[in-house]
């Protein structure tokens, strides 16, 4: 349920989720159990650009639960500069009721939007006991992590040229744990070329990741892993009824699901993303996507191959009424026992 009145808005979701109790052994206490989920979001606009709000969630399964409360705000300083802030607190109790933990996360973003220069600076601090069972946490937001990621970009608009715009950006990440030990760095320069109906993007990413004792079973010493990838992307919308996008990424990555008895290692990887959107008539949009991700050892042994094909059809009868149909197929080929148990 969602709604809005004047400067106030809200949204809420209630879910009774059967997934946790499916495919469990008869002796498992979770067999047949369902998780009850409640989510509510509210906000108030302060003028045309500023906003404050909150988000509260709860997921309860048997005697265990995970609760999250977030307070956030967006405030504009000038025509170009604005900030976003968020403070998140969590409380979790294990299913057996024997363990309760609390955690927090602090986010502060400083952004600039402009024709020539853009900026995004994001400071993050996450405590060790921070838990969000209903949310996805990428490595920058995981527990026991603090740091900053930064992106700055420049754009230029030449005259009397086939190029409408060209520019570049630098993206960097530095993360450390609560003991002030470095655990992750990333540097990614990007070049972007935009023509009338075509955009070409080239980038290279260099990453260093440090694993500490206790991060992985059997890891007793600090280990540093360096890996890098390069990426090329192309988008084209020359034709009104057809839009096309392709992205190819190749390089190395850290394999965190090695065979039993082995430690993480750097592996070769490549990924292909293809997107084709058709609009044969004004009311109908057909978005088709193909993903291929492959991973293999440095010696050339295939670890896994994952293919996803998806087609999303949307027909807009009127402004208020639409019909959507989504078909998806996933094919995961496991060549070794790297992903056993997952």
Residue 338: pLDDT over 80? no
pLDDT digits (tens, 9 = 90+) for 52-61: 999 999 999 9
Instruction: Please tell me the predicted confidence (pLDDT) of residue 300.
Output: 85
Q: What is the pLDDT of residues 37-51, one digit of tens each?
A: 999 999 999 988 899
| Residue-wise DSSP of 195-207 | -SSEEEEEEEEEE
The encoded tokens of residue 329 equal 């197929």
Q: State the chain's mean pLDDT as an integer.
A: 91
- Tell me, what's the pLDDT at 70? 96
> Cβ-count burial of 238 within 10 angstroms (0-12 exposed, 13-18 middle, 19+ buried)?
exposed
Q: Is the pLDDT of residue 295 over 80?
A: yes
Residue 278 confidence (pLDDT):
95
Amino acid 336: pLDDT:
54
The predicted-structure confidence for 146-203, as pLDDT tens digits, reads as follows: 999 999 999 999 998 889 999 999 999 999 998 999 999 999 999 999 999 999 999 9
Q: What is the mean pLDDT of residues 127-146?
A: 87
Q: Each residue of 252-286: pLDDT tens digit?
A: 999 988 888 888 999 999 999 999 999 999 999 99
What letter does residue 73 receive in the DSSP assignment?
E
Mapped onto helix, strand or coil, the DSSP state of residue 286 is strand
What's the pLDDT at 257?
A: 83
Task: Give Cα 284 to chain centroid, integer Å.
Answer: 29
Classify residue 333 as exposed, middle or buried by CB count within 10 Å of its CB (0-12, 13-18, 19+).
Answer: exposed
3-state secondary structure 120-139: EEEEEEECCCCCCCCCCCCH
Residue 86 has pLDDT above 80, yes or no: yes
Q: Counting beta carbons within 10 angstroms of the beta carbon of residue 237, is it exposed (0 to 12), middle (13 to 18) or buried (19 or more)?
A: middle
3-state secondary structure 306-319: EEEEEEEEEEECCC
247 within 8 A of 232, measured Cβ to Cβ = yes
* 243 vs 277: CA distance, rounded Å: 5
**Structure-block tokens of residue 292:** 């291929």
Q: Are strands 322-334 and 117-126 parallel, antiparallel or unpaired?
A: unpaired
Residue 87, exposed/middle/buried by CB under 10 A (0-12, 13-18, 19+)? middle
Of residues 103, 46, 39, 107, the one with CA closest to residue 71: 107
The verdict on pTM exceeding 0.85 is no
State residue 214's pLDDT score.
83
């Amino acid at each position: 349920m969602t709604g809005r009145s004047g400067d106030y808005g809200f949204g809420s979701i209630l879910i009774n989720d059967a997934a946790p109790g499916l495919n469990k052994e008869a002796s498992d206490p979770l067999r047949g159990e369902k998780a009850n989920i409640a989510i509510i979001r509210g906000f108030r606009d302060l003028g045309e650009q500023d906003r404050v709000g909150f988000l509260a969630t709860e997921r309860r399964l048997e005697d265990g639960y995970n609760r999250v409360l977030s307070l956030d705000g967006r405030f504009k300083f000038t025509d170009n500069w604005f900030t976003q802030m968020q403070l998140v607190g969590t409380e979790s109790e294990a299913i057996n009721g024997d363990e309760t933990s609390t955690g927090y996360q602090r986010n502060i973003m400083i952004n600039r939007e402009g024709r020539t220069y853009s900026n995004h600076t994001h400071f993050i601090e996450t405590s060790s006991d921070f838990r969000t069972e209903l949310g996805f946490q990428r490595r920058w937001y995981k527990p026991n992590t603090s740091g900053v990621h930064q992106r700055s970009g420049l754009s230029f608009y030449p005259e009397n040229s086939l190029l409408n715009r060209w520019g570049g950006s630098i993206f960097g990440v530095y993360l450390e744990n609560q003991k002030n030990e470095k655990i992750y760095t990333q540097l990614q320069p990007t070049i972007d070329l935009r023509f009338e109906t075509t955009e070409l993007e080239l980038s290279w990413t260099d990453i260093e990741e440090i694993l500490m004792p206790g991060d992985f079973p059997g890891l007793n010493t600090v280990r540093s892993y360096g890996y890098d990838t390069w990426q090329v992307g192309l988008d084209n919308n020359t034709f009104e009824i057809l839009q096309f996008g392709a992205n190819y990424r190749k390089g190395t990555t850290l394999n965190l699901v090695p065979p039993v008895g082995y430690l993480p290692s750097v592996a070769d990887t490549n990924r292909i993303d293809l997107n084709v959107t058709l609009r044969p008539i004004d009311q109908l949009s057909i978005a088709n996507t193909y993903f291929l991700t492959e991973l293999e050892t440095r010696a050339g042994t295939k670890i896994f191959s994952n293919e996803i094909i998806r087609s999303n059809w949307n027909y807009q009868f009127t402004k208020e009424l639409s019909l959507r149909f989504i078909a998806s197929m996933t094919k995961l080929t496991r060549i070794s026992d790297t992903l056993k148990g997952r």
